[in-house]
Chains A and B, each alone.
Chain A
Amino acid sequence: MDNLSDDMIVCRCEEVTVADIKQAIREGARDVVGVKRRVRAGMGLCQGRTCAKLVQQILCTELNLKPDQTGSSSARPPVRPVSFGELAEGAVE
């Protein structure tokens, strides 16, 4: 993980780079949610499905943590994007 360039995009939905994530860690983020809240990694359409693992790895490298110490964003419905129309009809289980 030491060879990631700072301008590499980690969260594609919100266009968050390695440098942004390192900055969030400098500002006190210690886990995936702390990074998310500071720089929006994982707040986009895919809800962190793509970037969460990578964010976790950067946290582990920067803070010398084990993966299970970096937490995860809480699981929340909907599991995939669903229209408000479908939701209102109760079509989602």
Chain B
Amino acid sequence: MMKIYDAVVIGAGAIGTSVAYHLCREGMKVALLDHGDIAGGSSSHCDAVALICDKEPGIDTTMGQASIDLYNEYADKFDYDFEYDAKGCLYICETEPEMVAAERYAKAQQANGYPLRMVDNKELCEMEPYIAKDLAGGLYTPPSGAVSVCPYKVCFAFTEEGKKLGLDVFTYCTIHAIRLNPADHSVESLDTSCGTFSTKRIINCAGVWASDIGKLAGIYIPVQPRKGMNLISEKVSKIVNHKLLEFGYMMSKFDDIQFKRKVSPLVEEYNVAFNLEYTKASNLLVGGYRGFRGFDTRSEIEAMEAISERALRFYPCLKDIQCIRSYAGVRPFVADHLPIVSDVDDIPGFYIAAGHEGDGICFSPITGLLMSQIITGKKTDFDISPLDYVRFESKRS
């Protein structure tokens, strides 16, 4: 029997589940499809934070703050606990030149009204008693702009809340073809391993697989996998209060920010930046690195060594704490570091919400809300023209 839906969302990660939930809230009949389980891809192989302080000033930060505000709202409203924890964030500056660069960044964010501020060595050591004592200082973001959530539980939460509003979920469902109307190229249906879905709207939220889905519709979507890796500790007492990152992380994220760290060749080679957080389950997550390895998500021993080496520089007490597991995943990377949240001019009814790189968890709620505004023809909460797919349409292969 033909399945008929107002919208079919492809991809049940942090973006797709949010889009599905927000469309259900608009009263639409929605199907959520994934080739595996909910949160089976990038959204269960990442870290757990939503921050404004790892964003460039402008739309990046605007989206981050809007999303954090929504997380705050949904943590109260949803029955499903996604482990929201407004913990604040410290960007650690190892040296004075990093302090100078961080201060410049802080000023730009303060000018837009965000309450970031610098802390000196003394205050840093008070805020994190176990941190190395010889660091220059840090950039502090209060809990209003830095929260943590359990990423895969976010996906489960949006799915379960969506189901209450009539969402139908089809996991382990492979898409064979997307059918367009021959006359106007508008979306008509999908052929899948779960049967045929008749719909006028498809939202491609397939993350690192978004380009594969794009091909089924005959369009080029420039999303590439960019690998990341984290180490997990045994359960320990709460020795980390905030989300901690080294300011050099900015360098590894935005290749255009220029300043050189004094690190070993191994740390340099793996593009490793210190990154630490304490989870609700009492484990530490220790990261992280960025690399292009295609879809190879095996754990690399050398990367584990580099991550550990860098972590000990900032957190010496990790030396005697046990690592129990590593994990690696792929981020949906787009060259200009901005996600695609957009309709597609050539295919009426085809939408894209993908390419969030390392910000998928952070941008999950706001992306769902914005996509529901685009689809229902409402005015979006803020100008999102930089996220439009049109910026790639001229480069089609």
- CB within 8 Å of B: which residues of A? 14, 27-31, 33-34, 37-38, 40, 43-45, 47, 76-78, 81-85, 87-88, 90, 92-93
Contact = CB atoms under 8 A, between A and B. Distances in A.
Nearest to B310: A88
A38 B152 CA distance: 8
Question: For chain A, what secondary structure do more than half of its interface residues adopt (helix, strand, loop), or is it mixed?
Answer: loop
Interface in B212-242: 231, 233-235
A47 B40 CA distance: 18
B336 interface: no
Given A43-B281, A76-B299, A87 B323 contact: yes
B231 A84 contact: yes
A14 B152 CA distance: 18
Contacts of B323: 78, 81-84, 87
A7 B20 CA distance: 35
B300 to A, nearest CB: 9
B326 A76 contact: yes
A90 B309 CA distance: 9
A29 B37 contact: yes
A33 B172 CA distance: 14
Contact of B152 (A37, A78, A83, A90): A37
A78 B325 contact: yes
Contacts of B169: 28
17 contacts: A29-B37, A30-B37, A30-B171, A33-B37, A40-B281, A43-B281, A77-B326, A78-B324, A83-B320, A84-B286, A84-B312, A85-B308, A85-B312, A87-B308, A88-B305, A88-B309, A88-B311
B66 interface: no
Contacts of B301: 77, 92-93
A31 B324 contact: no
A47 to B, nearest CB: 6
Contacts of B308: 84-85, 87-88
A23 B156 CA distance: 13
B37 A82 contact: no
Interface in B294-323: 299, 301, 304-305, 308-309, 311-312, 318-323
A62 B73 CA distance: 36
Given A38-B156, A84-B321, A76 B38 contact: no
B156 A85 contact: no
Contacts of B233: 84
A40 B305 CA distance: 26
Given A28-B169, A29-B37, A47 B44 contact: no
B319 A85 contact: yes
Contacts of A84: 231, 233, 286, 308, 311-312, 318-319, 321-323
A56 to B, nearest CB: 16
A30 to B, nearest CB: 7
B234 A87 contact: no
B327 interface: yes
A71 to B, nearest CB: 10
Q: Closest 6 CB pairs between A and B?
A: A85-B319, A87-B308, A81-B322, A88-B308, A88-B309, A84-B318
A76 B312 contact: no
Contacts of A78: 304, 323-326
B327 A76 contact: yes
Contacts of A81: 234, 322-324
Nearest to A78: B323
Contact of B324 (A45, A90, A92): A45
B312 A31 contact: no
Nearest to B328: A76
B324 A47 contact: yes
A15 to B, nearest CB: 11
A78 B2 CA distance: 48
A67 to B, nearest CB: 18
Contacts of B321: 83-84
